[in-house]
Structure 1
């Protein structure tokens, strides 16, 4: 009986083992199915990715080229904001744009520091630009800010002037090239120029200007590091033949006389930065804005009362020693006497300190301040606290009260920079 039970148990165990094998087989089958499904899923996913890439590629192919679709007039406008080299390089990118670089109305020549290879390359480029340019298009602006050979510079300027350029800006950035400027007489006889900026900062010799500038269309003139030629023994008078001149900026000039006469009935804005100490005589009845920056070296006078004067800015440099301040206050006050019809007056801290120096010196001879009959606003720019630690607001106010002792009190502001 016991033996029979053992046989039954073995049969049950065998049956369970058989069932376990079947279950294990089923599990393996399930895993195989799962693996196959996963593989199929990967293939489906890959197909989806391929389809997506194909669609994206088709979309890319059919996406419009917005730059090429722009009208020529707009493209032409855009490249005229570039320097000439960049404009030519841009136009090479498309056959449709090739001719645009030949129609530029603005030419800007910039080059790197001089070298023999760069010089040859620039000469070729300049020659190609000028020879290929379509002359039916007006030349509005020419800018030269480069280290280029004097002959090349002259050639470009002559081309521009012969094509009635309207605006000319030229910075001579060279310590080695000495421009012979065969084109200089042409510049100062131009009938087309409305704006001229001429700077000779780094050249070993200053540009010597003619006695009179005959520029009938000129409205704006900026001159830096130039020399004015005397029209007689004691005086230079270069601007009287600029009949529509509106804006004049003079920076670090020199002259072969003691008097600079600025005579022009249309001039409304005059700015002077430094320059050789001289006597400046204003014959500018329509002057509305005047700025002077630098040392207290110029004497200032006027042949009219400057009744249209709206704004005046005085910003002088402080000398190295306080003894150099002696007598400078009277010069500043004499300037203010010439400019007494101003409406808005802005004075820098150094001018205030110069006036204070004489106020605090009991032995100094004080000049009586003018009467500002039209003054509406007085602003004193005193800089940041570190630069003004020895000049309190009370001291500034004392100097201002001295200046305005003969005038109605206008609005008064002390302006400090951060």
Structure 2
């Protein structure tokens, strides 16, 4: 019989191998031999996906009744798994995903899983759920070990609890949360409990309309994605303040221009903007220009062609406005959601006229995109070679 060399490896290496497999497959290794029988009890990466469970057990998720039944079996499986895990094992990462539109999870079960993970010193926690926290008390927890936290509401919106306390949290990703609650309607600084936060991502959150304040002394990366199609484009959408003295990178994607009453990020290096509205909103071009000027100390600027379409709405205004990025060393234009093949010369001049004289300046333009003096609908000249037009701009 051929020697089983894999089974002779130390537990630490075998557990590392199991961490790359599906949790159901990891459990199945218990039938291989005595050597493998109890290894899964000591897994430190616990990732539970409802859809994977359904596929593994051949359970349906295609309607509400079937999905709810599968969800109950899935919850029982998780409870059984946790009850047989080694209590002495620290958890490195814990992911709980009820990724089905037909399943609404219960807060008590979620709290049970969260408390288990926190009690075992979890470092990375991810919850992808569909539930209504405003129908009962929000989950209350604190942790000294947690460094990464992802909270995602699937096709739903929930209130962001104001009672989190994670003194060593480095990364936070939120999707589908209101920054207020039925308990605290005046919540202004929802991230005050994260003094070491370095990376913050907000997706489909109400941060812009609620005028929240972000004060994060250690924050280095901030990303805001507000691409909800049903958004009221005429509603005032402003954050109150962003104070991040160490922030180096800011990314924004949304239907409307990003607006903030007060900003403070002196170390900013890179910005990315994708504003892609396709309806006529009065003053949107001016808001977009104002947005760019708020991030004027950036050295690397990435803009979608959709954003330039918004800016060009008032050519006379931008021709009289100073360049928003006097410190820019690199400008990168990229394709957006819409099929755009031309950029107005006045927009390029607005962005670069004060920068192209810098020896270190570089610019990237998508293949097939031309700089033109007028819209094609207003001129029969068509597109022109980009380099020739840029040279003519500064003759």
In the superposition, the TM-score normalised over structure 2's length comes to 0.76
How far residue 365 of structure 1 moved from its aligned partner, in angstroms, is: 8.4
Which protein has the larger Cα radius of gyration, Structure 1 or Structure 2?
1
User: For 1:119 and 1:267, how far apart are their aligned partners in 2?
Assistant: 37
2:373 matched residue in structure 1: none
User: For 2:46 and 2:138, how far apart are their aligned partners in 1?
Assistant: 17
Shift in CA distance, 331/255, structure 1 to aligned 2, threshold 3 Å: closer
Secondary structure in structure 1 of the residue aligned to 2:140? helix
User: For 1:401 and 1:91, how far apart are their aligned partners in 2?
Assistant: 67
How far residue 157 of structure 1 moved from its aligned partner, in angstroms, is: 1.5
Secondary structure in structure 2 of the residue aligned to 1:185? coil
Alignment partner of 1:352 is 2:308 = yes
1:317 to 264, 267, 276: 276
1:4-403 maps to which residues of 2 (within 5 A)? 61=1, 63-111=2-50, 112=54, 113=61, 115=67, 117-146=69-98, 147=103, 149-150=105-106, 151-172=108-129, 174=130, 178=132, 184-186=139-141, 189-203=142-156, 206-211=157-162, 213-229=164-180, 236-254=188-206, 258-274=210-226, 278-280=237-239, 281-304=241-264, 306-319=265-278, 321=279, 323-324=280-281, 326-359=282-315, 368-382=321-335, 387-388=339-340, 391-393=341-343, 395=344, 397-403=345-351
| Unaligned runs of at least 5 residues, structure 1 | 1-60
Secondary structure in structure 2 of the residue aligned to 1:292? strand
User: For 1:234 and 1:159, how far apart are their aligned partners in 2?
Assistant: 31
User: For 1:145 and 1:68, how far apart are their aligned partners in 2?
Assistant: 31
Contact 1:345 1:379 in 2 (8 A): yes
RMSD: 3.0
Higher helix share: 1
How far residue 234 of structure 1 moved from its aligned partner, in angstroms, is: 6.8
Q: Deviations over 1:44-88 (max 9, x none)?
A: xxxxxxxxxxxxxxxxx3x22343343322111111223322211
How far residue 371 of structure 1 moved from its aligned partner, in angstroms, is: 4.9
User: For 1:212 and 1:156, how far apart are their aligned partners in 2?
Assistant: 18
How far residue 92 of structure 1 moved from its aligned partner, in angstroms, is: 2.9
1:415 matched residue in structure 2: 366
| Unaligned runs of at least 5 residues, structure 2 | 55-60, 370-395
Q: Deviations over 1:337-377 (max 9, x none)?
A: 11111010000011111122211xx6x68772445332110
Shift in CA distance, 199/310, structure 1 to aligned 2, threshold 3 Å: same
Secondary structure in structure 1 of the residue aligned to 2:36? helix
Contact 1:315 1:348 in 2 (8 A): yes
User: For 1:191 and 1:90, how far apart are their aligned partners in 2?
Assistant: 33
Contact 1:84 1:108 in 2 (8 A): yes
Shift in CA distance, 142/235, structure 1 to aligned 2, threshold 3 Å: closer
Secondary structure in structure 1 of the residue aligned to 2:74? helix
User: For 1:330 and 1:287, how far apart are their aligned partners in 2?
Assistant: 25
Secondary structure in structure 2 of the residue aligned to 1:89? helix
Contact 1:209 1:226 in 2 (8 A): yes
* Range with bigger deviation, 224-233 or 87-96: 224-233
May I ask how many residue pairs the two structures share in their alignment? 338
1:34 matched residue in structure 2: none
Q: Deviations over 1:242-295 (max 9, x none)?
A: 110000000001259641211111100000000775322211111100000011
Secondary structure in structure 2 of the residue aligned to 1:144? strand
Shift in CA distance, 340/334, structure 1 to aligned 2, threshold 3 Å: same
Q: Deviations over 1:307-343 (max 9, x none)?
A: 2111100011132x3x33x422221221121111101
